[in-house]
Structure 1
Amino acid sequence: MNAKVKLQRIAVLVSTGRHPVSGTPRYSRNDAAALELGRKLAQRHGAQLDVIHAGDPADPALPDYLALGAQQVDVLPCTPEDDAAQALAARVRDHDLVLTGTRAEGAYDSGMLPYRVAALLGRALVGAAVDLEVDDGNARVRQFLPKGLRRRVEAALPAVVAVHPLAEVQPAYAYARLRAGSVQRASAGARVPNADAAAWLSGPVTRKPVKFAAAERRSGHARMLGATTTESRGGNVVNAGSSVEKAQVILAYLREHQLIDY
């Protein structure tokens, strides 16, 4: 591998996400950080920047990447049963630097796509990048580590870099850029089915309600007696008063037992 590769082509692989409350389709915040890093590098080195997505060209979340600075989003038609890593690796084989987020924003996304793409390309992978510079054919990456630690590593181009959500960039959303850009259906090669797709089961996730339980403040002897006898645990039954006054009683109880912090 040539250690003096000049940075001429950058690919940013983007996915789509959903708002955690409303479920509305939106861009992935992890991939938005990768896009912003790619834009800065492209401007600094005069490189070509390609933003690529494997999925549905009609996905309503894709235009968000235009507003974040992509002039065009190339979409490789891909179904959930297809192997997206194979399609993306074939598309970015001629790029000097491939940027991705650490993982997509679905409930059970594995975060394996950057590793699979790097393995298919036979290139080095650097993960959890919070800062990135390219000089003299090398990608100099500052990595995120637990407990606030950071580490600097280098990888010779061509390489794959997965960007951490805490990367030191601030993507800016501009509606004018959304109107000026375009989402294009790219020509893709033969689709490769994913061998594990038949074992997958997809469906909505229903969050189970969290039951509040006040901390037990009685002594061990009192708790043992309570386990063998029937006794009142205390509390107030509020029948009188307005709905606001009843709500205040409930809030006072929750604050007293530190079940809420507001």
Structure 2
Amino acid sequence: MKIAVLVSVGRHPVSGAARYSRNDAAALTMALDLARAQNATVDVLHAGDPSNPALNDYLALGARSVEVLDLSATPGARNDTQNDAAGPLAARLAGYDLILTGTRAEGAFDTGMLPYRVAAALGMPLVGAAVDLSVHDARAQVRQFMPKGLRRRVEVNLPALIAVHPLANVAPKYAYARLREGTVRAVATASAGSPDDHAWSLRPATAKPVRLAAAEKRSGHARMLSATTTESRGGSVVIEGSSVEKAQVILAYLREHQLVDY
């Protein structure tokens, strides 16, 4: 059985530094465990920049090598847009029995559509939000993550593409010795591009504003009563006065509830 794992470059939530994607790391660990049980081979693929140092992290997580489809040399590509990776990946993945990938990348505004586009191009079924996986008799048994702690088991015929949930039942293990032994191989390829490329541009992601909220000081019984009645929850409406006086009222409220420290 031939297994492929699609990996992407993640981003640290605080520093923004490039690193391995936690979703794809879970998919890689799941694929390696399955390969040992099925005596299968695992190929790790990435579409993007082969010089990104974050790809070495996947070597430390167990990949013997990472094959990078270099899309930067695509003729006529714009510098401010990403080349379409779905087409080259689908062409490279033809003939695989099982493809695993994370649910979505960690670039803040990623759509999570790449697994669906690759599966559609290959004409194979897709199972999303997988938390564990087993293969028997050319069929994959997948346990899916569902809202509110629920789980669902589904079966799918191989070949198939499985998108792994971040809460998958795996524990990636990082080893520096494996990083030194593995290799990252760049393969030149071309992307046909998309007719909608001109409508997209790349820029650094910005943090969303955090809404200030005063800490709830009422008892649980009082909160339950307020949820079933229309009584006022306090506060005041300032209509009269100058803008300075209104600003002073707001500042006093923020200081009272310790939402500002000045």
Shorter-chain TM-score above 0.5: yes
**Residue identity matched to 1:227:** I
CA contact (8 A) 1:132 1:141 kept: yes
Equivalence map 1:236-255=2 (5 Å): none
Partner residue of 1:139? 140
Residue 192 (str. 1) matches residue 208 (str. 2): no
2:240 paired residue among 205, 210, 228: 228
Q: Give the SS at the match of 1:39.
A: helix
**Per-residue deviation, residues 140-159 of structure 1 (Å, max 9, x unmatched):** 00000000000000000000
Residue 169 (str. 1) matches residue 170 (str. 2): yes
User: Quick one: structure 1 residues 186 and 30, their matched pair in 2 at CA, closer, same or farther if it must change by over 3 Å?
Assistant: same
What are the ranges of 5 or more consecutive residues in structure 1 without an aligned counterpart? 1-7, 237-252
> So what's the TM-score if we normalise by structure 2?
0.80
Partner residue of 1:105? 106
Q: Distance in 1 between matches of 2:24 and 2:234?
A: 56
Partner residue of 1:38? 31
**Residue identity matched to 2:140:** A
**Residue identity matched to 2:236:** R
**Residue identity matched to 2:192:** V
Q: Give the SS at the match of 1:93.
A: coil
Count of aligned pairs between the two proteins: 233
Q: Distance in 2 between matches of 1:117 and 1:55?
A: 16
Residue 51 (str. 1) matches residue 44 (str. 2): yes
Query: Of the two, which has the highest radius of gyration?
Result: 1
Residue 159 (str. 1) matches residue 140 (str. 2): no
Q: Distance in 2 between matches of 1:198 and 1:209?
A: 29
CA contact (8 A) 2:71 2:188 kept: no
Equivalence map 1:40-119=2 (5 Å): 40-79=33-72, 80-119=81-120
CA contact (8 A) 1:81 1:194 kept: no
CA contact (8 A) 1:101 1:163 kept: yes
**Per-residue deviation, residues 153-199 of structure 1 (Å, max 9, x unmatched):** 000000000000000001011100000100011353x4311222111
Percent sequence identity is 60
CA RMSD of aligned residues (A): 2.8
> So what's the TM-score if we normalise by structure 1?
0.80
Q: Give the SS at the match of 1:62.
A: helix
**Per-residue deviation, residues 68-127 of structure 1 (Å, max 9, x unmatched):** 000000011114542201111111111100001000000110000110010000001000
What are the ranges of 5 or more consecutive residues in structure 2 without an aligned counterpart? 73-80, 218-231
